[in-house]
Amino acid sequence: MSEIIKTEAVVLNKIDYRDTSVIASLYTKDFGKISAILKGGRTTKSRTGKIVDPLNHLQIIIYKKETRDVQLLSDAEIITHFSKLKENLPALKYSYAIIELVHKLASDYEENKRTFYGIVRILSLFEKGEEKPEVLFGRFFLFLMKESGYEIQLGKCSVCGRTDLKNMILGFNWDSGMLCVNCKEEKKNYFNINPELFDYMSCLKNNKLVSEINDSMNDYANKFFESYLQFHVPGFKEIRSLKSF
């Protein structure tokens, strides 16, 4: 028997299903990531189908049944649709990268209210436009990795425990972690961490102001984050939204 549930959700993506329906991936406040079908969602008469769109923050009603993988979406109302964000191409690019990242990392039916409110907050910050979109994306990337159990430790060398790591050419080994300038020579495989990247990641992690970042440094940071997840998360692939705009 189905249970009628009312909750909030952010739409991560949606795909067409059969002739007139859509299946949406939703990150909900009360159940984490779920899939839900909206029957008739592609018909011209479907008001709900028009608002179940990626990035929208909704109040939804679903018929939830434990024995099925795809729930039935009955109704939805807009809470926020982030109109300014959608008119700003850089903000739109990184917002899509965020919901793609959530879709890749989040497990089905694993409630995490911190993640839900984190998604809503970061999209609201994109909407305000007070900080560069690429910096907001980096902050959320580290936040979501922590919430998903893949936190990157930057505070000390994982081998000798050294904590004064600024202004060094460091390394990061996927198994052991951060390596100081001396200890990295003992490892065969590591990702090079220059002082600029280390300072940038430290600012992101500690929520400090990032005064300046160029495109090459931003791309290098994202490559590091993606490579880290590709090592630790089976089947994780690059974030396509970062290449699509």
Q: Please report the domains of the chain, with CATH numbers, ordered by start residue.
A: 3-80 (2.40.50.140), 89-151+213-244 (no CATH)
Distances 69 to 18, 23, 72, 180 between C-alpha atoms, Å:
17, 11, 10, 46
Tell me what the mean pLDDT of segment 137-154 comes to: 96
The amino acid present at 215, given as its one-letter code, is: D
DSSP 185: G
Work out the mean pLDDT of the chain and round it to a whole number. 95
Residue 1 has pLDDT above 80, yes or no: no
Q: Other C-beta atoms within 10 Å of 37: how many?
A: 17
Residue 71 has pLDDT above 90, yes or no: yes
Task: Give the pLDDT band (50/70/90) at residue 185.
Answer: confident
**How large a percentage of the chain has pLDDT more than 70?**
100
**Beta-bridge mates of residue 72:** 37, 63
Task: Give the pLDDT band (50/70/90) at residue 234.
Answer: very high
Task: Give the pLDDT band (50/70/90) at residue 14.
Answer: very high
Residue 212 has pLDDT above 90, yes or no: no
Residue entry with tokens 């300046």: 212
Tell me what the mean pLDDT of segment 132-145 comes to: 97
Q: What is the pLDDT of residue 92?
A: 97
Task: Give the pLDDT band (50/70/90) at residue 168.
Answer: very high
